[in-house]
Amino acid sequence: MTDDGIVAHFKELQQEKKKLQNRLDHFRFRRKDLESKQGSVTDKNRLLQQKHDNMSRTIEIAKRKLQESQLQVEKLQNENDEHQAYIKLVKTSLQKEEDTKDTYLIKLQNQFDELSNDFRGAKKFYEDEELEKEVEHWKNTCQRRKISIETGAELVNQISSQLKEMNLSKTDSDEKPAKSSWKEVNTHQDFLTSLFQEDFSKLESLITQEQNKSQHLGERITVVMEQLKTKQDELKKIHNTNV
């Protein structure tokens, strides 16, 4: 090979080397670029992995929160059911109370009407005119009872005096016949006297009892009249207060 051929071949080799060097530089650049991209991708992958891990943890937390929320919802639903049942019970109780109150109010109204009627009747009864009539009625009753008792007592006294004045002496056989009616009366004188005396004693005891009853009745009438007068004054005060 000549020197020119060697030089030419050397130049070709240099050009080939230069081409290869350029290709090597290109590949090195691409490698660096790929390495750089790989690092970026690795960083992104790491970030994505972190995000994935975070999302996984978030999902797990969300699941637990969901379960807790479901449990809370069930608990609240149970409490709501209990509250609804209690509210229903309270409403039923309130309705019963309302019905009882209405019944009680009607009863009170009826009692109030009765009291009003009684008050009007009592007010009329305890008026001076009515009270005087009542007092006069009881006075007349007491007076009639007293007169009746006095009449009975007077009759008893008259009969007792007549018995004492009777002269049932024995009749002499010379003055009157042996079968005279006076002799018959004289025979039963003791029996008749004891008989009348027993009846008169009972009658006197009865009259005494009636006199005591009459006195007690008079005293009772006096007390009742005083009570009526007091009640009349109280009703007048109540009436004046309401007016």
Residue 43, CA distances (Å) to 40, 49, 53, 78 in order: 5, 10, 15, 51
- Residue 17, classified by CB atoms within 10 Å of its CB into exposed (0-12), middle (13-18) or buried (19+), is exposed
User: Angle at Cα 180 formed by Cα 179 and Cα 184, nearest 5°?
Assistant: 85
pLDDT tens figures, 72-115 = 999 999 999 998 999 999 888 888 888 888 888 888 788 777 76
CA gap 212, 217 in Å, rounded = 8
Minimal CA–CA distance to 211: which of 152, 160, 161, 157? 152
Task: Show the CA angle centred on residue 36, arms to residues 35 and 41, nearest 5°.
Answer: 90
Domain ranges of the chain: 128-165
As a whole number of angstroms, the distance between CA 18 and CA 31 comes to 19
Which pair of tokens denotes residue 191? Answer: 């029996």
Torsion angle in degrees (nearest 10) through CA of 217, 222, 225, 227: -100
> In this structure, what token pair is assigned to residue 64?
């637990």
Torsion of the alpha carbons at 147, 152, 158 and 161, rounded to the nearest 10: -120
Residue 111 is predicted with a pLDDT of 78
* Structure-model confidence comparison of residues 164 and 185, the more confident one: 164
Task: Provide the pLDDT confidence category of residue 240 given band limits of 50, 70 and 90.
Answer: low
54 or 115, greater pLDDT: 54
Dig out the tokens for 158 from the structure.
Answer: 């008259």
Q: Is 177 strand, coil or helix? A: coil
151 or 160, higher pLDDT: 151
- pLDDT tens-place string over residues 188-198: 555 555 555 56
Token pair 């019963």: residue: 96
